[in-house]
Amino acid sequence: MAAILLVSIACIPAVSASPNKDATNTVSAIGTPAVESLKKIGILATVHINQGASKTHTTYVGSNKHHFDPYLIWIPSSGSLRLTITSPTGQVYGPWTDSSDGSVNGMINFDYIPIESAAGLAVGNWVSTIYCISGPVDYSYTVTVT
């Protein structure tokens, strides 16, 4: 029974979003020792990345959306990640590193929404690229689109 549950969980897609609703995307899990530390702060989904590697995450943004708010946290915080976001039209936002939000603490979490447009965000797939400057680290990446 446990094996069936584990296989079922492994088949869950890495990122999912509804194009016509407010969307929150979270990356799926890969088990590592740092996962326990992330679980203690309420984060259950993590990805492992090694130094020099990149991972991409796609978020679909539907019409009438005005805010794209990324949140990236990693452990150990002594590692370093860089986040760059590319819109469907090719506009690049970032790159952001740990200090870009005003503090060095193993996360990129702005006190404001870093990507917004009164006219509306470009509709389509937005690509977030996470690059590991130093690591390895385990990270969680979430995007809220409203």
Q: What is the pLDDT of residue 12?
A: 35
Residue by residue, pLDDT tens for the chain (146 residues) are 333 333 333 333 333 333 333 444 444 344 455 555 555 555 557 899 999 999 999 999 999 999 999 999 999 999 999 999 999 999 999 999 999 999 999 999 999 999 999 999 999 999 999 999 999 999 999 999 99
Q: What is the pLDDT of residue 13?
A: 35
**CATH level 3 topology of 14-145:** Jelly Rolls (2.60.120)
Return d(Cα 2, Cα 140) in angstroms, integer.
25
Domain boundaries along the sequence of the chain: 14-145
Return d(Cα 112, Cα 124) in angstroms, integer.
23
